[in-house]
Structure 1
Amino acid sequence: MKQIIAILVLSISLISCNQSATTNEFKTAYIDTSKIMDESTEAKDIEAKYKAKAEEMGAELKAEAAKFENEAANFKKNAMANGQAWAQQKGAELQQKEQQLQYAQQGMLQQLQGESGTEMDSLVVKYKKVFKDYGKDKGYDYVFGTGEAATVLFAKDSYDITKDLLKQINDKYKSEDKKEEKPAAVKK
């Protein structure tokens, strides 16, 4: 009799454990955040913008560097003919110009890194909101992130919602872009 009661209690407890496990199932998914940043149109546009800006600013520096190289070549030609005092003075001037070019290059790089970093940080904040809203709209309990800062070590591919989010982000960006491009109607 005690065995039957023990088996009955054990059966009831197993059934109740199974029921509580099924009622506490979570809807989960993950996003490859690196893929979002690499493939989103807006992130690509920001990257292209700063690449073009770097090329533009770099062209100005290249012109200054070429001018400096010409001065240095002339210095080498004329150093012996103009004497040691002239060579020391001109050498100091060239050294100062070289240092100014290096400072200008460092300043340009810091400026570009700062501006692009600020813009990319804003984009990350924007995307985090999109991820949160998407998760709420689709009824997810958890949405994990993978990528460079991986928080998911393994997940089935069926839980990957990266493509859906990437499409939503790009579509929204395209529609925002079209709104900005439309000129105001001119009344006659």
Structure 2
Amino acid sequence: MKKGLLIIALSISLFACNKTAEVKEVKTAYVDTSILMKEYTEAKDLEAKYKAQSEEKGRLLEAEIKRFKQDAANFQSQAQANGQSWAQQRGAELQKREQELSYAQQALSQQLQQESGAEMDSLVSGVKKFIKSYGKEKGYSYIYGTGDAATVLYAEDKFDITKDIIKALNDKYKSAAKTEDKKEEKAEAKK
């Protein structure tokens, strides 16, 4: 009798363990972040914006540098004709101007880096939030990142959702741009 009760108790406990030990399927995927940032339209637009700003502001500085080089060339030809004291005074002015141009180049570079860095950080933060909500919506337990900062050393291609994320992000960006365009059109029509 004791043996029978023991077998029944074990059977019940095994059955109960099996019932509670049901394992939920873990759905995982990965995103190639380097491809994502190359193909995401907003990231491309941001890069183009700062490239254009750099070229525009760089042209103004280049014109100033060109004038400086002409002045420096003129200085060398006029130095002997105008004497040593003139050459020393003019040489000091040219050195000061050269240093100011160098500082202006550095300041411009730093300004563009800070501005683009802040916008890029904001963009990356938005992408992370989007991927998080995308993962929740699609039922993923984990979405890993690969690319420049690889956190996945290997994954089967069937788990790559990079193209899906790019498409969804680009669609969201396009719809946001269309909404902005409509707001601008309405504002223009009211004027």
TM-score, normalised relative to structure 2: 0.85
Counterpart Cα distance in 2 of 1:87 and 1:184? 63
User: 1:25 Cα shift?
Assistant: 3.6
Please list the CA deviations of residues 128-163 of structure 1 after superposition, one character each: whole Å capped at 9, or x if unmatched.
000000100011111111011100000000000000
Match of 1:115, as an amino acid?
E
For 1:184, give the aligned amino acid: K
Asked whether 1:184 is paired with 2:186, we answer: yes
Match of 1:107 in 2: 107
Identity of aligned residues (%): 60
Q: CA deviation at 1:60?
A: 0.3
Q: Report SS of the residue matched to 2:148.
A: coil
Matches of 1:178 and 1:70 in 2, distance apart?
49
Runs of 4+ in 1 over 4 A off after TM superposition: none
SS of residue in 1 equivalent to 2:186: coil
Where 1:30 maps in the other structure, the secondary structure is strand
- Structure 2 residue 127 is the aligned partner of structure 1 residue 131: no
1:89 has 2:97 as partner: no
How many residue pairs are counted as aligned between the two chains?
173
Distance 1:124 1:66 in 2: 39
Unaligned runs of 5+ in 2: 1-13
Unaligned runs of 5+ in 1: 1-12
Q: What TM-score comes out, normalization by structure 1 length?
A: 0.87
Q: How far apart are the structure 2 equivalents of 1:187 and 1:25?
A: 55
Q: Are 1:23 and 2:17 an aligned pair?
A: no
Question: How far off its partner does 1:176 sit?
Answer: 0.6
State how far apart, in whole Å, the 2-side matches of 1:26 and 1:138 are: 12
Query: What is the alpha-carbon distance in structure 2 between the residues aligned to residue 166 and residue 55 of structure 1?
Result: 29
Distance in 1 between residues matched to 2:134 and 2:30, nearest whole Å: 12
The alignment yields a C-alpha RMSD, in angstroms, of: 2.0
Q: Partner residue of 2:8?
A: none
CA distances 1:70-98 after superposition (whole Å, capped 9, x unpaired):
11011001001111111111000000000
Q: Counterpart of 2:118?
A: 118
1:141 alignment counterpart:
141
Q: Map 1:145-184 onto structure 2 (within 5 A).
A: 145-182=145-182, 183-184=185-186
1:128 maps to a residue whose letter is K
One-letter amino acid matched to 2:88: Q
Aligned partners of 1:142, 1:175: CA distance in 2, in Å?
A: 27
